[in-house]
Structure 1
Amino acid sequence: MFDIQVNGYGGVDFNADGLSVAEFERACERLEADGVGAILATVITTSLDAMSGRIRRIAEAVEQSAVVGRVIRGIHVEGPFISGAAGYVGAHPTRHVLPATPDAARRLVDAGAGLVKLLTLAPEHDAGHATTRSLVDSGVVVAAGHCNPALDELDAAIDAGLSMFTHLGNGCPREQDRHDNIINRVLSRSRALWVCFIADGVHVPLFALRNYLSVVGVDRAIVVSDAIAAAGQGPGVYSLSGMDVVVDEDLATWSADRKNLMGSACPLPLGVANLVERLGVSEDDATRMTHHNPWRALGGT
């Protein structure tokens, strides 16, 4: 499996400062043992300095360790160029949210020394979609997420090179317009986008995920874990980028105030089991959504 959204795993938070190579190795060995052979390590919104430092540390660990280099095939930057509006911002710290600019994005990409493969931003906060164009021209895949672009803004971003949507059904308010909302807008453009979903049954109820997959189709859908350090660990209190995450008995990952979900404690293989055992997805189609499609979306085969 190739999981393109992993914030941490097996007790290791990729968004912590000063991680040792041994800690990266422990997470990667656990991922491999659980059946995930490749990931994009995900860095989420904080200050540009801190994000750059964390990206740089991941790149250094990839260079220094065979197992880390084997498992971490790139970096997914989620933020800080997202919507700061309530609901859309999710658990990302609002004080660090920024409008997208090519220079700021380039700073993050350069910190990864070629490893930044995917960046999630809000199209409505990318003036003239200049950042999207700049990133795509440099070989970085651009996804929309934690955003609320109008349909014409989404179309313009697609024209500029936007090719993916991050964890549809999440990063948006619990209550929104019943028809003209970000979920329906993306579904209406799913032939032009790779659409990612979290299949833990918590972020999106499985009956709704079935509906979404029926519209998007397995040829354009990607299933991710959005795993945090709690993945594979069970209930308890964990950390994501210095923020407490409370994992309950259902493996729901709540912020301390219980207002937002914060990543997932469900390893990708458990999400695949949900697809196959509870939604009746064939094993071939599950493999397509967790292996073939992620590689194709990032320009592989």
Structure 2
Amino acid sequence: MYLYCDQICLPQGRFFDGYLKIENGKISEIRNQKPENEEVIDYSGYYILPGFIDIHIHGWGTGSFINDKSAAAVLKMSKDLPDTGVTSFLATSGAEEIDEIKKGIDSVAEIMSKPQVNGAQVLGVHLEGPFISAEHKGMQREECCLYPDLELMKEFIKYQDQRVVKLMTLAPELPNADKLIQMCFDNRIQVSAGHTGATFEDIKRLKDYGIGGVTHMFSGMRGFHHRELGVVGAAWYFDDLYCEFAKQTGMTVRPEAFALTYKLKGAEKIIMTTDCAGLGQSNRQKYHYIRKITMIPDGEFLIIRHDDGREERYRRDNYEEVKHLEMGYLESVQNMVRNVHPQMHEVARMTAENPAKYIGVFDQKGSLEAGKDADLIVLDKEYELQATYCRGNLAFVKKGE
């Protein structure tokens, strides 16, 4: 099967007018000559980009890894994510009970041990904790924030022959963090500083142990001061550090703060993520201090109670209802584009190439090249999603197309 498009986004920011061949889930060639006697799907007037890779997502739609560590919950995320342009992701845990974290790792290892044919591909686990600072916990559970524990980490990485754990967020100022960062480096696990009170000097001292960037820039970290640059200042100052951003709602990070980072770091060192939770699947009553709502599970429904007394009910297993509870990847990208005005090839870099490089899967994903997985999205010039292909399979198509 071939896809034709006059704007295929290739590496180095080039756009190509031609035909992209999908064969056995891979991109087998990109050519300018029209193939003869072959199926061709025409996307004239649109743009084909590499699919979004979300390396920080706890849940989406009808699935939530933060609330349910089963393989079934992760596969529900996989089914729903192509609707937002996401073609692969890291199932992300938090500061939780240790047995729950282990169960989640087991579930993802089970999924990764088999061919993943349909939906967004589960690339592994992002451990956002438990080795984080209680002082900067944000919405994490304070009682589950622990000091780095090498023996416990060994239990988390028992599947590293499959590279199940691909990313870890930790607070580098905590005792034994240097040893744990070294352990991650030795096991090909990328490390991000997050939920941390680290100073500029802490990051400077430990960066070369294996810290590659920061988790949800600005949020859950020591901020910038002209005498103590903090984590934010270190992320800006050191050219090799990546800045990961959560969904761009404007509620947690002002657009101007993102724009400032974009000016300093460029598209080359920004990674877009969502940090979504799958709010519709909340399994215990919880207050969201940013959105000023209380989430109340009620059997097959979720009740959202606003601080002003209003209440809404959502069917938890109905994707069309629960997807509106939080901003998805595509909408976040659209907001970022409206505020910062990057070129489309720069968007591809922040949403696909950079995350793929960061977690060590760029040989398979993150750009449209022969030999790589056929993970791609079709957008119009307004960044409205027309279609999503996951490993060559059509996983989403806009209604009416």
Q: Does the TM-score normalized on the shorter chain lie above 0.5?
A: yes
Report the residue type matching 2:263 in the other structure: S
Structure 1: distance between partners of 2:183 and 2:140: 24
Structure 2: distance between partners of 1:107 and 1:265: 33
Which residue pairs with 1:291 in the alignment? 352
1:114-133 to structure 2, matched below 5 A, reads 114-127=163-176, 129-133=178-182
Which residue pairs with 1:50 in the alignment? 100
Structure 1: state its 5+ residue gaps. Answer: 231-236, 259-263
Q: 1:163 to 1:253 in 2, by over 3 A?
A: farther
Which residue pairs with 1:11 in the alignment? 62
Which residue pairs with 2:83 in the alignment? 33
Alpha-carbon offset, residue 269 of structure 1: 0.8
Q: Is the 8 A contact 1:43 1:55 kept in 2?
A: no
| 1:158-187 Cα distance to aligned partner (Å, 9 max, x none) | 1211112111111147x8857524322322
Alpha-carbon offset, residue 245 of structure 1: 5.3
Structure 2: state its 5+ residue gaps. Answer: 1-51, 296-304, 307-324, 363-401
Normalising by structure 2, we get a TM-score of 0.64
Q: Is the 8 A contact 2:213 2:242 kept in 1?
A: yes
Which residue pairs with 1:261 in the alignment? none
Structure 1: distance between partners of 2:132 and 2:205: 17
Q: 1:279 to 1:70 in 2, by over 3 A?
A: closer
Which residue pairs with 2:242 in the alignment? 194
Alpha-carbon offset, residue 83 of structure 1: 0.5
| 1:22-64 Cα distance to aligned partner (Å, 9 max, x none) | x433321211132110101101111222211122122223435
1:165-176 to structure 2, matched below 5 A, reads 165-172=214-221
- 1 or 2, which has the higher strand percentage? 2
* Equivalent residues, number: 281
Normalising by structure 1, we get a TM-score of 0.83
Q: Is the 8 A contact 1:144 1:162 kept in 2?
A: yes
Which has the larger Rg? 2
Which residue pairs with 2:145 in the alignment? 97
Aligned: 1:217 with 2:217? no
Alpha-carbon offset, residue 278 of structure 1: 2.8
Q: 1:255 to 1:214 in 2, by over 3 A?
A: farther
Q: Over the residues paired in the alignment, what is the CA RMSD in angstroms?
A: 2.8
Alignment partner of 2:104: what SS?
A: helix
Report the residue type matching 1:281 in the other structure: P
Structure 2: distance between partners of 1:84 and 1:239: 22
Structure 1: distance between partners of 2:116 and 2:177: 41
Alignment partner of 1:95: what SS?
A: helix
Q: Is the 8 A contact 1:77 1:118 kept in 2?
A: yes
